[in-house]
Structure 1
Amino acid sequence: MSRATSIDLSVLDRAQRGLFKTLGLVPAAVLGVGARVTEVNSDGERLAPEMALVGLATARVPGKALTGPAPEIARRNLDATAVSLAQEFPPFAVEEDLTFDGPGGPVGATRYRAAEGVPKGLILFFHGGGFVVGSRASHDSAVRSLAIESGADVLSIDYRLAPEHRFPAAVDDCLAAWRFAVEQAPGWGIDPAWIVVAGDSAGGNLATVVASETRGEPVVPRFQLLIYPVTDMTGGTASRAEFADGHFLTRADLDYFTEHYLNSPADAADPKASPLLADDLRGLPPAYVVVAGFDPLRDEGIAYAEAMRSAGVPVTLERAGALIHGFLNMALISPDARAYLARMGAAVADALD
């Protein structure tokens, strides 16, 4: 059992988890009835009712917003909410906490293997959270799902967070994590050539930056799984305006994360912060890019997929039209989120076959 991913829930959080588990039992057919009256976006997609409830709770319930006046409080709140939303899984064959040397000191990681036997490969996973919040604990349920659905081991990384450690500290830690994974993979029974880089939101940004920065090295990532990634920190897309409020991730949150992560506005033009602004995307590994229909980051995820495709990179773009940012961690209450997680795992499995 991983100590690093174990969170003790308060009485209130345990009660909240009970409500989430009850919501998770609502049949998809009933949710479909609710979907007849939810919001429709400018592209004609209708918001899933459980996603509408998440957006409402985030806006109205104290402690459920992504950001707050103190990053350490926001981190605790997100971890507790994520654990309250975690699915339940059978025991894993391997679940071990590790550390390795990063440029700023020891970096924590947890390795998962769902079942006994030889894994298909390794997913090197970087969690989301705007470079400010999020952890191995907040994404424990999501990476377990990916391990089960893909048949691969997962190595989940706790890179340094801002504002204590600003750009490019997270990039540097994730590059160190890549080198650690390449070095350790043979001892885990995995060929280093079969490592996938993956992440959601800020973690998707870090995954593709690692893929870009390692081009030309003796070992490079086999595949990229980019889940609603941050790709352009200069902002300005239509989706950032359309979904500025009421859909979990808000414009205020994005401003907060950007201000806490970057040293100055000029950093936003650096391709290691905004990979969409890179001059050359040729030679990147094949990619599976997932965007959500009601997400302020939707358009930049689509733009990055199209930019890679134009550069000759094989790309699959998956559009989860009824969902919001963060749905990776909402599979307990959302049949659609569970379905998309299964498709992500299948895409990784196909890449490793």
Structure 2
Amino acid sequence: MVDKDIQDLLKEIGIEMKQLNHPSLTDLTPEQCRHFYLEGLKFFKTEKIKIAHVINRTIEHDGYAIPIRIYAPETEGEKLPILTYFHGGGWLFGDLEKDDNLCRMFVKECNVIVVSIDYRLSPEWKYPTPLKDAITSVKWIFENAIALGGNPDRIFLCGESSGGNLAAATCLKLRDEGHKLPMGQLLICPALNCNFETASYNAGYAYNLTKEKMQWFWNHYLESPDHGYDPYASPLLVDDAKGLPQTMIVTAELDPLRDEGAAYAQKLKGSNVPVTYLCFKTMVHSFLHMHARSPKAKEGLNTILHHLRIMIDAKPLPVR
């Protein structure tokens, strides 16, 4: 059963959408989807967290400038860990503003530098372009970590939903290229497989994310259905997960993506990758953005921050 406070919030959103005569997400064009997403942000607004430094800039690569936002606390000169963040939004919507306050929270609660990546979106830019932007950004962060005030040996990746997909796929690609790997990755309610026949998909959860919506997102992301079998698009399909960094995977009990997150945790464990797996009861997809309205969601967010601090403070693992 869904958390009552979240249920009330989703009901409130549903009533307003009905009053405004908003069509179903899957009946929208991508541009309409982005417009309605901006309208819906008001339901999740919280007081902006103040931190010392916020800088917007771009990463120039192959004729394109990838927008990024760098968040940093006040320091005494120490080189801090860097958390690279990829927002969610079905690879189709979202920007640097979407999870701005979450990035600020990571800085405040974990004493890290956060670099948020505004990767290109589908369907204008289909797979693998968003992933290429993610990989380019992470390589740039490794190269410029010291200039950013960070420690190049303590770089982490984090992403939610489709952003979790990009974080996981980036780790796979870096490993396969023989590149230096992040020290760890946090995958929050990640989309990890273009397969809609899991128990959590077929349970018919009809909260803020449904099977039909995910099919719609994947159809916009992939140029061809065959790309869904590529492990860099569907990281759960990777044959060998050996050598990946320590990983924390967060899922929600009532999220259609729950089972693929759980399966990826098991695959990593089977390859001797250190894994922390957290599944939050009564929660739905993207529940951490509902923490201002739901004490249970706030409790879950605090638990995630606690485990993230542990991962960030851990000693680097030996190369396997």
TM-score (norm 1): 0.82
* Structure 2, unaligned runs of 5 or more: 314-320
Mapping of residues 178-189 of structure 1, within 5 Å: 178-189=138-149
- The aligned counterpart of 1:17 is none
Q: How far, CA to CA, are the matches of 2:122 and 2:291 in structure 1?
A: 27
- The aligned counterpart of 2:193 is 232
Question: Are the aligned partners of 2:49 and 2:105 in contact in 1 as well (CA < 8 Å)?
Answer: no
AA of the residue aligned to 2:4: P
Shift in Å at residue 181 of structure 1?
Answer: 1.0
Shift in Å at residue 65 of structure 1?
Answer: 6.2
Q: What is the CA deviation profile of residues 289-330 of structure 1, one whole-angstrom value per residue up to 9, with x for unaligned ones?
A: 000011000111101111111111000101111211011222
Q: What is the CA deviation profile of residues 247-277 of structure 1, one whole-angstrom value per residue up to 9, with x for unaligned ones?
A: 1001221111011111111111110111010
2:227 maps to 1:279: no
Shift in Å at residue 186 of structure 1?
Answer: 0.2
- The aligned counterpart of 1:335 is 295
Which region of structure 1 is more displaced relative to structure 2, 320-329 or 221-230? 320-329
Mapping of residues 240-319 of structure 1, within 5 Å: 240-245=201-206, 247-319=207-279
AA of the residue aligned to 2:30: P
When the two chains are superposed, the root-mean-square deviation of aligned CA atoms in Å is 2.0
Question: Are the aligned partners of 1:58 and 1:248 in contact in 2 as well (CA < 8 Å)?
Answer: no
SS of residue paired to 1:188: coil
AA of the residue aligned to 2:6: M
SS of residue paired to 1:132: coil
2:8 maps to 1:49: no
Question: Are the aligned partners of 2:253 and 2:284 in contact in 1 as well (CA < 8 Å)?
Answer: yes
2:70 maps to 1:111: yes
C-alpha distance 274-58 of structure 1, shift in aligned 2 (>3 A) = farther
Q: How far, CA to CA, are the matches of 2:143 and 2:44 in structure 1?
A: 34
C-alpha distance 267-59 of structure 1, shift in aligned 2 (>3 A) = farther
Question: Are the aligned partners of 1:198 and 1:226 in contact in 2 as well (CA < 8 Å)?
Answer: yes
SS of residue paired to 1:141: helix
- The aligned counterpart of 2:317 is none
2:163 maps to 1:208: no
Question: Are the aligned partners of 2:291 and 2:297 in contact in 1 as well (CA < 8 Å)?
Answer: yes
Identity percentage of aligned residues: 32
Shift in Å at residue 137 of structure 1?
Answer: 1.1
- The aligned counterpart of 1:344 is 304
Question: Are the aligned partners of 1:128 and 1:202 in contact in 2 as well (CA < 8 Å)?
Answer: yes
- The aligned counterpart of 2:112 is 152
Shift in Å at residue 64 of structure 1?
Answer: 9.2
C-alpha distance 323-102 of structure 1, shift in aligned 2 (>3 A) = farther
2:54 maps to 1:95: yes
Structure having greater relative contact order (Cα 8 Å, sep ≥ 6): 1
Question: Are the aligned partners of 1:108 and 1:158 in contact in 2 as well (CA < 8 Å)?
Answer: yes
Question: Are the aligned partners of 2:51 and 2:108 in contact in 1 as well (CA < 8 Å)?
Answer: no
Q: What is the CA deviation profile of residues 52-95 of structure 1, one whole-angstrom value per residue up to 9, with x for unaligned ones?
A: 12433455532596555121222232234235412214421011
Question: Are the aligned partners of 1:67 and 1:253 in contact in 2 as well (CA < 8 Å)?
Answer: yes
C-alpha distance 75-156 of structure 1, shift in aligned 2 (>3 A) = same
TM-score (norm 2): 0.90
- The aligned counterpart of 1:18 is none
- The aligned counterpart of 2:38 is 79
Question: Are the aligned partners of 1:121 and 1:191 in contact in 2 as well (CA < 8 Å)?
Answer: yes
Mapping of residues 33-44 of structure 1, within 5 Å: 40=1
